[in-house]
Amino acid sequence: MSLSVEEINKALPLSNTLPGEAVPYYMASGEGIRYEVNGQLVTVIARAADTGGIFSAAYISGGMGAESAFVTHAIEHKTLYVFDGILHVWLPGESRILTPGDSVVIPPGTPHAYRMASHYTRFLNWMTPGGAEAYYERVGAPVNSHVPPAHAGHKLTIQEQEEVGAEFGLTFPDLERVQPGFQQNAGLPASLSPYFLSAGEGERLVSYQTMFSYLSRPQNTGDTYFAVHTKGAKSPYIPLHFHSEHTENFLCTEGRMWLYANGREMLLTKGDFVHAPAGTIHSFAFDAHNTQMVGFLTPSVFNGFFEYFNKPTEDYIYTEGGEPYMDVEGFGRAQAEMDLTVVGPPPQRRVALDI
């Protein structure tokens, strides 16, 4: 039975363990349930059991030449976001060379494949709804290592992948891999279709020393989630608040940030993850110059929030310095009209004050 919003308000976040229920938790980069699959390390950081069934997520890492067959998910909508290295990704009839900060959005029914093209590549595999992450448990070999294997162990045949994949709505079509290439991809499509998005692109908004970039909107994901990249200067905590109808998920991609959740302060650096289900009283602060994070918000009821107090921009970086400002009237309207309950002023830093 899932916890109520009021119960989640009081749940102290767990650390480096998957909880088995939809409660707040923190996962340091490299932690999670780990499997070797076809010479790659799959690190599961969220399962359906941990998120109320609404999503799952895993980091996939490997060395030069590690790859997947073409696969099609009948159910899950996916986003692949590159953290390290070089990743070649194929869709039917097209391919791209992706580097850190690049992403690809893949609706259900879309065949896709990848190949790693550097000695260490890592990307996030986000899937909505959750459930297909159990495929890794079925086909992978459990490992204690936090890095990919130096030499591949058991490699699955297509027949083995097809037999297990059928239980999860996965099929493995035999498609041509066209020559991958670099290309700047800037826009979000107006409907549900696969697309590549280059680092720094997306629908951008700016406010004081901060920039928000939509990597996906509800129309791109079948109204299941949307993703926002945030970058900014050092900043204090924002007002304490919670959401009643959606889950917020934080992934630090650069720099360092503090995240306060239900009374606990957590330091996030690159690759760290926090799951904040509906009801989690939270705030965050950037603690390094040009800190960056990606947020996945699901379901997509919070889409449009950032427009209340930020301005559209064609720039690719925020301006540092100047007089602090905030659209207080816009933020007030957001409180009245969006899934947002402010419960107090910004919290005060209490730990590691000397760093």
The lowest-confidence range among 12-26, 233-247, 319-333 is 319-333
Q: Is-contact 43 231, C-beta < 8 A?
A: no
Return the pLDDT at 97.
Answer: 99
For a pLDDT cut of 70, what percent of the chain falls above it?
100
> CB atoms < 10 A from the CB of 250, how many?
22
Is the pLDDT assigned to residue 154 strictly greater than 80? no
Which pLDDT band, with edges at 50, 70 and 90, does 324 fall under? confident
DSSP 146-183: SS--SS------HHHHHHHHGGGTEE------PPP---
* Nearest partner of 21 among 45, 44, 50, 46, judged by Cα: 50
Q: Which residues pair with 226 in a beta bridge?
A: 297
Residue 296 Cα distances to 67, 172, 229, angstroms: 26, 28, 9
Is the pLDDT assigned to residue 187 strictly greater than 80? yes
Report cis status (omega within 30 of 0) of the bond before 189: no
Q: Is-contact 140 35, C-beta < 8 A?
A: yes
Is the pLDDT assigned to residue 332 strictly greater than 90? no
Q: Which two tokens stand for residue 110?
A: 């879309």
pTM for this predicted structure: 0.97
Mean pLDDT of the chain: 96
Is the pLDDT assigned to residue 213 strictly greater than 80? yes
Q: Which helix (H) or strand (E) holds 334?
A: helix 328-337
Residues 227 and 131: their CA atoms lie apart, in Å, by 20
Return the pLDDT at 1.
Answer: 55
**227 or 350: which leads in pLDDT:** 227
For a pLDDT cut of 90, what percent of the chain falls above it?
92
Is the pLDDT assigned to residue 229 strictly greater than 60? yes
Q: Which residues pair with 216 in a beta bridge?
A: 227
Residues 291 and 334: their CA atoms lie apart, in Å, by 25
Q: Quick one: average pLDDT of 103-107?
A: 99
Return the pLDDT at 354.
Answer: 86
Q: Which two tokens stand for residue 10?
A: 């009081």
Q: Is-contact 280 240, C-beta < 8 A?
A: no
Domains of the chain with CATH codes: 32-195 (2.60.120.10), 202-344 (2.60.120.10)
Q: Quick one: average pLDDT of 256-266?
A: 98
Q: Quick one: average pLDDT of 125-134?
A: 97
